[in-house]
Structure 1
């Protein structure tokens, strides 16, 4: 998915392109959940919208049950759309504020001319509201009358109203409180078991992805750099970027948290309009080897069963044959001493940060 940009006053010409998604190749098994993680701006949401054809991809193919969605014309694509739906990040922005719940959930049924008539549609709506944990009495209420978690439940209900096979969830809980996040994630898992759904979950919260995903793909600057089962990836990350992400995840064990090493990356994320040559991560990689990393782009190769990594030296790094550069990796285990009692006037979260000597991590 490339977004061209132009220059010129009278006669504009294309001078380049933002390579938001560039060379992504992944499989999502039926009935399973594929989690896609990465920092903001890496192209996760753009990939989800390209799969849905909400934005037309520059090239490639998206195959669902043997059919290439990108090759379909408007009418056959419209009839197939009920088999793949999307849950958006911001439920308030994705729900029409001028439509009540009944209208929001009935509109897809009418648009796709689903059988049952008015009575059948009303029954279907009541069933779905019960499934997502909302009472049937809310059918006359409008989106602004609900809390954030309730609005996301409505978004999930609207995605399921047509009985899809594939659901793409783009940051489904990032705008919600932590307690509500757990409820929505558990709801998604229950719905998957009940309706045999296939999920592509896009998120930047590693804890959320670990809880819900069977397979996890790590994305960096428009491309997949590591892919493995959830258990394998969190136990033995092999790509340097994945290692840095995992080292930033807090561990709920004080003794482990104090002693473990952290990998801090220096430098900013490169521009997708002008990505680095060779490995796209080499400008920030602690294990960079100029002989290959600067010039040769690594392919996503399988190092173990189901574990694919796009790194020239993943095995050498894992075996310790290549050591990180000390000018890039900052190893700062917290001092093993009893933290001073924080002032009672401090906020609880801020007090915890002061006690551990750490700042809240964005990823």
Structure 2
């Protein structure tokens, strides 16, 4: 059963000019027609390079930014159509863990006050004593001591602050937690601890996650299904193991080829794919396939003029590429100039 359904979601930001910025001269197409489904109890990983729109999509689900078009259906209710007051009541069930743990915590509030604020707003706990008991329980579950209640965010390490951010989300007993780059600001040694904690909490509390990240290793570790975004659109989606074993979209294949392999023999022998050119501006996306300006397999006759739909292949992938099958079976090949040498000779 799907807990969250996105149907052709678009988030376009107007570009204003004029003395008082009263004239709209264009739009930034941050999210431009994303459709996906997240089942209850599942972890959906959303990956893509910086500027592709994944964080904007996460914020749009929570209505932290306005949705231009499309539907965001959470447990049968279209959040995009809810009045503000009704949306406020739904927010208890949808929470977010932000990328910067220090920037998302009020430096003037101690930890008890930070966690109790949301509980009071949503009427959780009969009084301060009951709320404190709940906060103490959640802090213990995320691995923080009881004496953390009276301390302030700057007194904690980065990993501890992220645990506080997780506790702030979980203390409201949500059903869906959106994790926006939850470990990107942490040391590698701490990243694994936080990811393992998220998995343990999901199992014990029955949570559903939407994990936004740019690190493919992080997403593979925690996700059941992975969606790949490029320039505001979803270009590929598949179960985690299948996506890593057989990436079908040219962009996904290029991303996978850049991930280091610990086996030196495999690393030296494997093919690397070079992407030429820069990421186009979301204010002026190219016509046709958004990726065709950088795609090493592009076919000008169709790729530059017709935007591919996200379609399902026989193996369970959803891919937005006209030539996914032909690239996979070798009918359309990668030219030598678009391959990177596996190693430099001396």
Compute the TM-score of the two structures, normalised by the length of structure 1.
0.91
Contact 1:277–1:296 (Cα < 8 Å) also in 2: yes
Alpha-carbon spacing, 1:136–1:336, altered in 2? closer, same or farther (3 Å):
same
Once residues 13 and 269 of structure 2 are traced to their aligned partners in structure 1, the CA distance between those partners, rounded to angstroms, is 45
Once residues 63 and 332 of structure 2 are traced to their aligned partners in structure 1, the CA distance between those partners, rounded to angstroms, is 43
Q: 1:103 aligns with which of 99, 103, 113?
A: 113
Contact 1:258–1:336 (Cα < 8 Å) also in 2: no
Q: Does 1:264 align with 2:274?
A: yes
Once residues 245 and 180 of structure 1 are traced to their aligned partners in structure 2, the CA distance between those partners, rounded to angstroms, is 24
Structure 2 counterpart of 1:279: 289
Higher strand proportion, which one? 2
Q: 1:301 aligns with which of 287, 297, 311?
A: 311
Q: Does 1:36 align with 2:46?
A: yes
Structure 2 counterpart of 1:211: 221
Q: Does 1:15 align with 2:54?
A: no
Q: CA deviation at 1:325?
A: 3.2
Once residues 83 and 33 of structure 1 are traced to their aligned partners in structure 2, the CA distance between those partners, rounded to angstroms, is 16
SS of residue in 1 equivalent to 2:37? coil
Alpha-carbon spacing, 1:15–1:258, altered in 2? closer, same or farther (3 Å):
same
Once residues 128 and 12 of structure 1 are traced to their aligned partners in structure 2, the CA distance between those partners, rounded to angstroms, is 48
Once residues 316 and 261 of structure 2 are traced to their aligned partners in structure 1, the CA distance between those partners, rounded to angstroms, is 26
Indicate the larger mover: 296-305 or 157-166: 296-305
Which string of whole-angstrom CA distances, capped at 9 and with x for unpartnered residues, describes residues 51-91 of structure 1?
Answer: 11111111111111100111111221111110000000001
Which string of whole-angstrom CA distances, capped at 9 and with x for unpartnered residues, describes residues 262-300 of structure 1?
Answer: 001110000000000000000000000011000000000
**Runs of 5+ in structure 2 lacking a partner?**
1-10
Give the ranges of 4+ consecutive aligned residues of structure 1 lying more than 4 Å apart after TM superposition: none
SS of residue in 1 equivalent to 2:136? helix
Q: Does 1:2 align with 2:46?
A: no
Aligned residues: 336
Correspondence list, 1:328-347, <5 A: 329-334=338-343
Q: CA deviation at 1:304?
A: 2.4
Structure 2 counterpart of 1:173: 183
Q: Which has the larger radius of gyration?
A: 1
Indicate the larger mover: 2-11 or 119-128: 2-11
RMSD across aligned positions (CA): 1.2
Once residues 239 and 209 of structure 2 are traced to their aligned partners in structure 1, the CA distance between those partners, rounded to angstroms, is 15
Q: Does 1:134 align with 2:157?
A: no
Structure 2 counterpart of 1:49: 59
Once residues 55 and 224 of structure 1 are traced to their aligned partners in structure 2, the CA distance between those partners, rounded to angstroms, is 19
Indicate the larger mover: 301-310 or 20-29: 301-310
Alpha-carbon spacing, 1:2–1:114, altered in 2? closer, same or farther (3 Å):
same
Contact 1:2–1:18 (Cα < 8 Å) also in 2: yes
SS of residue in 2 equivalent to 1:199? strand
Alpha-carbon spacing, 1:174–1:276, altered in 2? closer, same or farther (3 Å):
same
Compute the TM-score of the two structures, normalised by the length of structure 2.
0.95
Once residues 280 and 111 of structure 1 are traced to their aligned partners in structure 2, the CA distance between those partners, rounded to angstroms, is 43
Structure 2 counterpart of 1:341: none
Alpha-carbon spacing, 1:150–1:10, altered in 2? closer, same or farther (3 Å):
closer
